[in-house]
């Protein structure tokens, strides 16, 4: 079993990674749990994996209390958050209890926010079930729901006490979801690890075909990178953590335009967003064209979108004005000096951005 420690000045937690870990979740969770534990999950995940998690908990004398909500990004809403809190209160969850988030990033973000609010904050254990959640969202403590004004605009930082990652759970993940999650894997190479991007170029196809050794390597490398970055900048106040948002300013705008529907998955939007960020970097004379082409080429071959034909530039820009990274009315972007060389800037004017988006939207 691999163990990655996420360390903060005032504490930290372990991320445990191993194929088959789901069946040992009970003993691993026992030190963190009381006699009963609420499990927030969604219908699709619960139907496939719920019995396995319940059995291992019962095996150590912990009664599982499932709270199941409908699958899909549409459930990451203010309304569902309220309903979830009422259901957790009805179960008599106490402040000293921990809640298990058992699902993909949607469940992790929603249950995490509920845990941060319930009785002014109770504990959280993340058991991520998608590639995206295993390499990114389950670690680092960002929680949120989507608002009409945009993606993830109401949320909190609420770190889990423990994260259990079992790549075997990915065997039932629909291929399109696996591919979308892979975009966040590639992101770590692009942020500051050019060697890992090369690894992705060589091993991405095997990973998506279900090669568990490749999946384990990608998950471990991603979690170590994420732990390092959030450990240095837990609340995105010092700079490093914003780099994890590479491609996301564009991605969140594209997701808002798609109405947070299955038409465009988060990871797909991130793939298109990272391709746009690379090309904007080239257009600004910051990044070699060859690097942008190499990134888009790899993402495209893996089955991810890299262009945005037919989108409306003004509407995308309007969404980007809502981005949480913006300061003093300036759009804050993560750009690149080349693969592995991301940096932050607020020097790109809205007019430059609009011209760039206009060209991208016209491209087919």
Interface with ligand GLY (CB under 6 A): 136, 140, 142, 241, 244-245
Q: Which does 52 bind (CB under 5 to 8 A by kind): ligand GLY, ligand NAD, none?
A: none
> Shortest approach of ligand NAD to residue 263 CB, angstroms?
13
Q: How many other C-beta atoms lie within 10 A of the C-beta of residue 24?
A: 16
> Which CB, 140 or 313, lies closer to ligand GLY?
140
Write out the residues near ligand NAD by the rule CB under 6 A. 42, 44-45, 48, 71-73, 76, 103-107, 109, 129-130, 132-133, 136-137, 140, 142, 152, 169, 172-173, 177, 180-181, 266-267
Q: Which does 241 bind (CB under 5 to 8 A by kind): ligand NAD, ligand GLY, none?
A: ligand GLY
> Shortest approach of ligand NAD to residue 83 CB, angstroms?
17
> Which CB, 244 or 271, lies closer to ligand GLY?
244
Q: Which does 323 bind (CB under 5 to 8 A by kind): ligand GLY, ligand NAD, none?
A: none
> Shortest approach of ligand GLY to residue 275 CB, angstroms?
18
- Contact indicator for 16, 2 with CB cutoff of 8 Å: yes
> Shortest approach of ligand NAD to residue 355 CB, angstroms?
28
Q: Which does 208 bind (CB under 5 to 8 A by kind): ligand NAD, ligand GLY, none?
A: none
Q: Which residues lie below 8 Å from residue 152, measured CB to CB, with a gap of 6+?
A: 109, 142, 144, 145, 146, 252, 324
Distance CA 62, CA 56 (A): 9
- Contact indicator for 335, 281 with CB cutoff of 8 Å: yes
Q: What is the DSSP string of 48-76?
A: HHHHHHHHHHHHTT-EEEEEEE--SGGGS
């Amino acid at each position: 079993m691999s163990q990655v420690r996420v360390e903060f000045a005032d504490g930290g937690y372990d991320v445990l990674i191993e194929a088959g870990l789901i069946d040992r979740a009970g003993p691993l969770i026992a030190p963190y749990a009381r006699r009963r534990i609420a499990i927030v999950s969604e219908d699709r995940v619960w139907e496939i994996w719920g019995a396995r998690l319940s059995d291992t908990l019962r095996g150590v004398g912990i009664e599982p209390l499932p709270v199941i909500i409908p699958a899909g990004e549409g459930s990451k809403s203010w309304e569902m958050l309220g309903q979830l809190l009422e259901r957790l209160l009805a179960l008599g969850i106490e402040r000293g209890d921990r809640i298990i988030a058992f699902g993909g990033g949607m469940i992790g973000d929603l249950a995490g926010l509920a845990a941060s609010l319930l009785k002014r904050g109770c504990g959280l254990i993340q058991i991520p079930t998608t590639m995206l959640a295993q390499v990114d969202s389950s670690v680092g403590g960002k929680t949120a729901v989507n608002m009409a004004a945009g993606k993830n605009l109401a949320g909190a930082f609420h770190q889990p006490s423990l994260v259990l990652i079992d790549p075997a759970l990915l065997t039932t993940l629909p291929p399109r979801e696996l591919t979308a999650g892979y975009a966040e894997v590639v992101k770590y190479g692009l942020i500051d690890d050019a060697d890992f991007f090369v690894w992705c170029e060589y091993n991405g196809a095997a990973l998506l075909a279900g090669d568990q050794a490749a999946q384990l390597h990608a998950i471990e490398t991603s979690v170590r990178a994420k732990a390092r970055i959030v450990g240095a900048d837990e609340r995105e106040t010092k700079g490093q953590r914003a780099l994890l948002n590479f491609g996301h300013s564009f991605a969140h705008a594209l997701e808002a335009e798609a109405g947070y529907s299955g038409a465009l998955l988060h990871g797909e939007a991130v793939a298109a967003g990272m391709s746009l960020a690379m090309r904007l970097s080239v257009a600004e004379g910051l990044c070699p064209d060859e690097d942008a082409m190499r990134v888009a080429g790899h993402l495209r071959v893996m089955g991810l979108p890299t262009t945005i034909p037919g989108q409306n530039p003004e509407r995308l820009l309007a969404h980007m004005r809502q981005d949480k990274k913006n300061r003093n009315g300036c759009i804050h972007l993560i750009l690149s000096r080349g693969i592995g060389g991301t940096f932050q800037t607020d020097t790109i004017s809205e007019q430059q951005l609009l011209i760039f988006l206009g060209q991208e939207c016209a491209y087919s």
